[in-house]
Structure 1
């Protein structure tokens, strides 16, 4: 074997090793997104490019990756999608923006979304989501925007949300929540209009006093 041939082989091995290592995260993220796709009805074919046979999902429409081919945005707002969320979404550990507003998504907001430690924006408003707001959302220390208004959510507002250090926008209006409106922590600065149209939700609680409604 000539020195030139040996050099070519070494280069090919190095390239293959690089893509093998860098593709591990992207492949798992692609699997997670494909699991989400399988749970959805997509009459307008907005997810047509979501091909699980590709090396990673960074070439898919409505998906944005960083320079390391890690998924940081999923933008599917106003896409005429129906179906439900899946636990696999919690595997997108680098995700910063989950934009699913103005669709027809049903079912619960899953506890697994609390695993998205880098999430900045969670926009699920104007869907048909039911169940309670999961307490695990109180783990999202990077969260800035939480908009889950205009759904059919029930139960109380998780108090863990009041301790999120970066939370600047919360809108949970037009649901069926109950109990009282928190006034501690970051919730001190949110206007009451962001909680309106919840028929069973009572007024702001006294500072430092949590009133639990046994009828929730």
Structure 2
């Protein structure tokens, strides 16, 4: 009976600590991001990895369970690259990284953020292709990647994002044709301008990636 009581006690302790463990994991992911960034305006000064969780940090919003649900570094003038650690923020709903000087490729691990509603990365210097893994973001409603240096085609997999309401990839260097299936049927052509795109696909024909 003593052993059973001890086991129950240990289980209770573990369950009570599990939210803290989770937020520590999120804090570790954010600190890993911090180490990648140059921060001339010192907007990340409160990102102290020795704190219990990141919910007290500026530009971070948490829910009632201390899970990070919003990361907002818009207009912060940070520079540097994004890494796979962002994919560990499993509860994130809003990722706001617009109008800064971020460069490099968009991590495919962002496709792990299944609860993401809004992804704004416009106005940076991001390169490479739009990750096909974004097709896993079934809750996504806003995807703005305009005014970067992105290349390659628009992934056809994104046509499966039935909740997507706003999509903007204008002012990049994308090529190929514009999808017309799923939510793409309702997006204005301004969302695609100033690329090397060749107009919308024709219904029923296999897409051809001109110039890709």
Counterparts of 1:197 and 1:110, CA distance in 2: 24
> Is the 2:37–2:79 Cα contact (8 Å) retained in structure 1?
yes
TM-score scaled by length of structure 2: 0.92
When normalised by structure 1's length, the TM-score is 0.90
Aligned counterparts of 2:155 and 2:129: Cα–Cα separation in 1: 9
Tell me the SS of whatever aligns to 1:114.
Answer: helix
CA root-mean-square deviation: 1.6
Deviation by residue 1:108-133 (Cα, 9 ceiling, x = unmatched): 01110000000000000000000000
Q: Residues 114 and 139 of structure 1 are in contact (CA less than 8 Å); yes or no, is this contact kept in structure 2?
A: yes
Residues in 2 aligned to 1:35 and 1:19: alpha-carbon distance in whole angstroms: 26
The correspondence of residues 27-106 of structure 1 with structure 2, limited to 5 A, is 27-106=24-103
Q: Does residue 210 of the first structure (1) align with residue 212 of the second (2)?
A: no
Aligned to 2:193: 196
Gaps of 5+ in 2: 1-9
Give the aligned partner of residue 112 of structure 2.
Answer: 115
Question: For each residue in 1:55-87, what CA deviation from the matched residue of structure 2 results, as whole angstroms up to 9, or x when unmatched?
Answer: 000000000000000000001000010001010
* Aligned structure 1 segments of 4 or more residues deviating by more than 3 angstroms: 15-19
Contact map agreement 2:177 2:210 (CA 8 A) in 1: no
Q: Separation in 2 of the partners of 1:209 and 1:138?
A: 22
2:160 maps to 163
Gaps of 5+ in 1: 1-12
* 3-state SS of 2:149 partner: coil
- 8 Å Cα contact 1:122-1:145 kept in structure 2: yes
For the pair shown, which has the larger CA radius of gyration, 1 or 2?
1
Q: What SS class does the counterpart of residue 86 from structure 2 fall into?
A: helix
Cα separation, 1, equivalents of 2:206 and 2:97: 32
Count the aligned residue pairs. Answer: 203
Secondary structure in 2 aligned to 1:106? Answer: strand
